[in-house]
Amino acid sequence: MSRKFFVGGNWKMNGDKKSLGELIETLNGGKVDANVVCGAPSIYLDFTRSKLDAKFGVAAQNCYKVPKGAFTGEISPAMIKDCGVNWVILGHSERRHVFGESDELIGQKTAHALENGLGVIACIGEKLDEREGGITEKVVFAQTKVIADNVKDWSKVVLAYEPVWAIGTGKTASPQQAQEVHEKLRAWLKTNVSEAVANSVRIIYGGSVTGATCKELASQKDVDGFLVGGASLKPEFIEIINAKA
Ligand code: PGA
């Protein structure tokens, strides 16, 4: 089964109307042969959706687990959809490790976002000490299980494997390291969800992906795209989008 290449850009807490407007103009002019989604800061979701060409999706970088209420500072899937935005990134390592989000909360957010019609880029990944301690599989399987327990429709989910030690560090996982974990995740999905889901779900890699590293990573059998931070703010992002083209 062929899985359409999927590339997410994660702008994190970067940019302003001027710089993002310029980036959007560059992206709009680019050739795109993949599913591409740009993760904008929540205050710029509306701005981004209104400027970015329809060939691109837009994603929020987080959302809360209920539709509305007294949750100061949070945004809901309903609000995201109201801005014409159809995706959300959940469980990013910065949400887990800087803001202390638990597996349980990420699971609840995943269920609520899916129930409200958003696509979810669900992020998982081990820390350096976990990799060095030989528990990478244990960690990513446990994170994936909590997500899987909250998913009914896998066609709306993209799984992002992002080793924490590779994010923002310039230390990209080698193509072999990425492929090894992606293959194991697919096998886990086959055993614990279904063969159809294992074959169809996109497993994308994130962590210091650049124009220079994207092609070899994209050539790996189980790497179905990328989640890109730093390089998604540069014209180089178009090269990464077309890594497989
Ligand atoms: P990076 O970020 O590409 O800057 O390493 C990736 C991510 O956090 O999704």
Handedness of CA 115, 191, 144, 213 (dihedral sign): negative
Let me know if 112 is a catalytic residue.
Answer: no
What's the average model confidence in pLDDT over 48-55? 98
Task: State percent of the chain over pLDDT 90.
Answer: 98
Residue-level pLDDT at 187 = 98
Q: How confident is the model at residue 242 (pLDDT cuts 50, 70, 90)?
A: very high
Atom 6 in ligand 1: residue holding the nearest Cα: 229
pLDDT tens digits, 71-93:
999 999 999 999 999 999 999 99
Residue 240's pLDDT band (boundaries 50, 70, 90)?
very high
Ligand 1: centre distance to CA 170 (Å):
9
User: Of the residues 94, 112, 162, 182, which is catalytic?
Assistant: 162
Note the pLDDT of residue 1: 57
- The CA distances from residue 12 to 15, 120, 161, 172, in Å, are 9, 16, 17, 18
Tell me yes or no: is domain 6-241 CATH 3.20.20.70.
yes
State yes or no: is 97 an active-site residue.
no
Please state the φ and ψ torsions of residue 233, each to the nearest 5 degrees: -95, 5
Q: How far apart (Å, rounded) are the C-alpha atoms in residues 172 and 48?
A: 28
Token digits of residue 81: 């959809």
- Span 178-183, average pLDDT: 98
Statement: the pTM of the whole predicted model exceeds 0.95: yes
Beta strands in 57-209 (DSSP E): 57-60, 87-90, 119-124, 157-161, 202-206
Counting ligand 1 atoms within 8 A of each CB, the residue from 92, 158, 227, 240 with the most, and so the one to mutate, is 227
Q: What is the pLDDT of residue 245?
A: 82
Sorted by where each begins, the domain ranges of the chain are: 6-241
Ligand 1 lining (C-beta closer than 6 Å): 10, 162, 167-168, 206-209, 227-231
